[in-house]
Amino acid sequence: MASNKELYTVLGVDESASDAEIKSAYERLIAQNPEGTPLYSSIVEAYTVLSDMDRRAAYDITGKIHRSGVRKHRDANSGGTEKVRYALNTLFLAGAAVTTVLFILQFSGAIGALPFYITCGISLLIKIAEYILRLIP
């Protein structure tokens, strides 16, 4: 088990350091140790744990780094994004059903091709919007 002070030592701060002190130490150390240097990953890992209030509390109690969760800022945004993606997927499925019906009607000659093409285009745009939302963290 790692000691509780290991991550604090990496950043060179005390266990009672504030968020501002942790961020300042991180920025200073990253400027001195760019990506590719031996200490870079340790600095990033220490900051990732200590900058997240929940992960820091768990680390202080257990002395272990819990890797199961994602960073807090991602959790805060993902709820709204997930709801929008769910709504877009629901609209896409509804559009796919309508497109199928229109395809059958167009294939049988009951309607022209234009409504079928329009619903295909709308469904495609909805799916593209949903895929773009996947890129947002």
pLDDT for the residue 4: 52
Among candidate residues 40, 39, 68, 38, the one with its CA nearest the CA of residue 54: 68
pLDDT for the residue 1: 34
Please identify, among 62, 80, 107, the residue that sits at the C-terminal boundary of a domain.
Answer: 62
Q: What does the block give as tokens for 111?
A: 């309607």
* Confidence at 32, pLDDT banded by 50, 70, 90: very high
CA distances from 53 to 5, 25, 56, 76 (A): 16, 17, 5, 13
**37 and 57 both lie in a single domain:** yes
Domain extent at residue 45: 6-62
Is the whole-model pTM more than 0.75? no
Whether 1 maps to a domain, the answer reads no
**79 and 130 both lie in a single domain:** yes
> What's the mean pLDDT in 58-82?
65
**48 and 90 both lie in a single domain:** no
SS (H, E, C) 41-57: HHHHHHHHHHCCHHHHH
**50 and 83 both lie in a single domain:** no
* Confidence at 2, pLDDT banded by 50, 70, 90: very low
Whether 33 maps to a domain, the answer reads yes
**18 and 54 both lie in a single domain:** yes
**80 and 127 both lie in a single domain:** yes
**48 and 18 both lie in a single domain:** yes
